[in-house]
Amino acid sequence: MPAFQRRTALAAAAAAVALSVSVSACSGTGGAGPAGDSRDGKVTLRWSTWGSAEDMAVFKAFTDEFTKRHPNITLKLEPVASYEDYHPKLLTQLTSRTAPDVFYAGDDYIGKLVADGVLAPLDEQLAGPLSKTRPSDFFEGLYGGAKKDGVTFGVPNDTNPEVLWFDKKALAAAGITEDPAALNESGRWTMATYLEMNARLKAAGKYGSIFWNWYGANYSLVNGFGGKVWENGRFVAPSDPKARQAFRTLADGFQDKTFASADLLPEGNSAATQFVKHKAGFYAGGRWVIEGIDKGGDRQNYDVVPFPSESGQPIQGAVAASYLTINKDTRHMKEAFTFLSEFVSKEGQQLRLKGGSAVPSVKGAESLVTEGNYPAHAQTFLDVRDKGFANYPDEVAVPGLTKAINDHLLKIWEGKVGFDEGMTQLQSLVDGMKGPKG
């Protein structure tokens, strides 16, 4: 599931899952933090991520295989249950020089870590003879804030492209006979058609679409209208005519109940519940939506389609991503890179993601998404990934900026602030946090 969804679904039980496995490679003299190496030349490599006990369990197959290949490295996983707690803890560790050797970074924090200079550059090693992954194995748009001035500081470990799931039963109940996926295949999946379907769903007593309030949905819709969010290092969405049109469409839709904000739905009647009960025609999300469908819906009622465009031609859609990075102060750089390279490799992702709800970030592992032929147009996830974008580097370079933008947009969606005033305030907010020239 995408980064923002992983954050909200985490369970406290994760803290109890400390997978600690012995594995080997080269010897070292101590970790990035408290040393834990033995005198026989074995290296303890500390790494960290966030997630529940179930999330941590997916690493077991990879760890077992890594152990066989590298019997002199001990991998010590240090999980943090809550995404909200993970990065503050990591930043504290980096300041005190007790951070793990290798660690995950969320797409909304990677820019700060790069700017702070705490991550090791990876390009030379990725292109080197010991690498199991090459720079060309990844799609350029997925790097987001993990690259700066052409230097790579993090590698996307997996992804979740933002698409529109649609409910065939809900569409039929609204008298809609055209199939969105078929329209997309014929180049006729336009914004006008999509919005007309939403209006018909509303007239039938249903939500047209359910959106989570995050950059994936908001900026994908902006792109669908042909708008711009950032240009030449400046946030331009409030003044760009097409972006403004997209935002107004969202604001009007939320306020007249054509759209529903998943963030505001009650827990007992959540977005997933509404969707499987055929109360909405479209639900914007990633491959993780399958989990909700399997819990309460009939799989055959649902399929996926990209966000539409004005012309019917494909747009660049948003892709949720997180990154594997190396602490620049690690005393085990060779071992740390061995772990990173194998973790994000095709084989590593096939081990980690099999049976899960993420989409591999690396070329060559596409069968993880297409096997089983579900949904019928599962290739859509890969198409969006291949040409998509992680959140804009200019935005993620400012800690807290993405959250501030989302929080302000939610006030506009709710009608707590008028649209025109809200756009003016949004520009001032971003300029104030980033600087008018930044």
Burial label, 96 (beta-carbon count in 10 A; 0-12, 13-18, 19+):
exposed
Determine the average pLDDT of the residues in 133-146. Answer: 93
Asked whether the predicted pLDDT for residue 243 surpasses 60, the reply is yes
The confidence score (pLDDT) of residue 112 equals 92
- The string over 175-201, giving b where at least 16 C-beta atoms fall within 10 Å of a residue's C-beta and e elsewhere, is ebeebbbebbeeeebbbebbbebbebb
Asked whether the predicted pLDDT for residue 5 surpasses 70, the reply is no
* pLDDT digit string, tens, across residues 393-414: 999 989 889 999 999 999 999 9
Asked whether the predicted pLDDT for residue 24 surpasses 90, the reply is no
SS3 299: helix
Q: What residues are paired with 157 via a beta bridge?
A: none
Asked whether the predicted pLDDT for residue 26 surpasses 60, the reply is no
- Banded model confidence at residue 37, pLDDT cuts 50, 70, 90: low
Asked whether the predicted pLDDT for residue 14 surpasses 50, the reply is no
* pLDDT digit string, tens, across residues 103-131: 999 998 999 999 999 999 999 999 999 89
Determine the average pLDDT of the residues in 310-315. Answer: 96
Query: Do residues 173 and 206 make contact, with C-beta atoms less than 8 angstroms apart?
Result: yes
Query: Do residues 349 and 158 make contact, with C-beta atoms less than 8 angstroms apart?
Result: yes
DSSP state, residue 264: G
The confidence score (pLDDT) of residue 118 equals 98
* pLDDT digit string, tens, across residues 344-381: 999 999 999 988 899 999 999 999 999 988 999 999 99
The confidence score (pLDDT) of residue 38 equals 52
Instruction: Report domain extents, the chain.
Output: 3-161+322-376, 163-317+398-434
The confidence score (pLDDT) of residue 377 equals 97
The confidence score (pLDDT) of residue 399 equals 85
The confidence score (pLDDT) of residue 17 equals 32
The confidence score (pLDDT) of residue 58 equals 83
Q: Which of 5-14, 49-58, 64-73 has the lowest mean pLDDT?
A: 5-14
- Banded model confidence at residue 196, pLDDT cuts 50, 70, 90: very high
SS3 354: coil
Asked whether the predicted pLDDT for residue 316 surpasses 50, the reply is yes
Determine the average pLDDT of the residues in 284-305. Answer: 94
434 or 151, higher pLDDT: 151
Q: Which CATH number fits domain 163-317+398-434: 3.40.190.10, 3.40.50.80, 2.60.40.1940, 3.40.50.800?
A: 3.40.190.10
The confidence score (pLDDT) of residue 39 equals 56
SS3 117: coil
Determine the average pLDDT of the residues in 147-158. Answer: 95
User: Same CATH topology for 3-161+322-376 and 163-317+398-434?
Assistant: yes
Phi and psi torsions of 389, nearest 5°: -140, 140
Instruction: Please give the CATH architecture assigned to the domain spanning 3-161+322-376.
Output: 3-Layer(aba) Sandwich (3.40)
Asked whether the predicted pLDDT for residue 1 surpasses 50, the reply is no
The confidence score (pLDDT) of residue 356 equals 87
Q: For the chain, what is the mean pLDDT?
A: 90
The confidence score (pLDDT) of residue 268 equals 85
Amino acid at 16: A
**Alpha-carbon span 346 to 360, nearest angstrom:** 8
Could you tell me what percent of the chain has a pLDDT over 70?
90
